[in-house]
Amino acid sequence: MKSKEYSGHRDRIKSKILKNGLDGFLDYEILEALLFYTIPMKDTKEPAKQLLKEFKTLEKTLNASKDEIMSLKIKGITENTCVYFKLLNDLNKKLYKERFREGTILNSVEAAYDYLKSSIGLLEKEVFKIIFLSADNKYLGDEIIFLGTIDRSQIYPREIVKCVLKYNAKSVIFSHNHPSGNPKPSQADLEMTKKLKKILEPLEVRVLDHIIITPEKYYSFLEEGII
C-alpha cells in the first residue's frame, strides 16, 4: 500500500482534472489517471509509461486487445484494465456515432475524417465503408460494404445500389482504411473509385469523395483533385 503522500498525489491530479480538464496533461499523465480506477492504492505512473512505450500513443493503447496488453505482464495491469480500456474506446466510438445521427450536415473533409477515424481508422484489417447523404449533405447513415484488401472483383454493384435505395441517398462518400499507415491510394483504389462512380451515375447519385483513413492522417480524392 502506498503512503498518504501518494494518496495526496491522486487527489491533486483529480482536482486538476475537475478544474481544467486535460489541458496541460501529457499522455502518460492521462493514462496514469485512468489507471487510478483499475489499480487502487498503488503507483500508476510506471505502468502508464510502460504501456505507452509499447503502444506509442494513448489512442493505440486504449485500442490494444486484451491479449496484447496482458502479454506485457506489467505489474498491476489486470483484466479489469482491459475491460476499462475497451469500455472507454467503445464509448468514444458511440459518441462519435451519435454526433452523426440523421440530419447532421457533413460539410468538410475534416468532419468526415474525424468520424471515420473513430470507426475504422484503427482496425487491423481493411474495410470499405460508404456514408450516405441527402441532396443537401445531411447524414443518412453508413455501412461497411466489404472486408479485406480492395480489388475491383470484390465490388458488388447490386449491394451498393441496394444500400443507396435503402437510404434514398443523393450523394455518397466512399472510405476505407489502410492499416499500414500509408494513406496514398493504390492503383486498385483508383480503378475501383472510377468504377463505382460509373455505377452510380445512372441513379444520379454523386460521389463527393473517397477518403483513405489511417490512425494519423487521411487522403482525400476530393482535395487531391481526383474526384
Cell numbers describing residue 3? 503512503
Q: Which residues pair with 218 in a beta bridge?
A: 213
Q: What is the CA radius of gyration of the chain?
A: 21
Give the pLDDT score at 150: 56
10-residue mean pLDDT series, the chain (227 residues): 66 93 94 95 94 93 94 96 94 76 78 86 88 92 80 69 95 94 92 92 96 92 94
Output the pLDDT for position 121: 86
Whole-structure pTM value: 0.70
Region of 194 on the Ramachandran plot (φ > 0 left; ψ -120 to 50 alpha; else beta): alpha
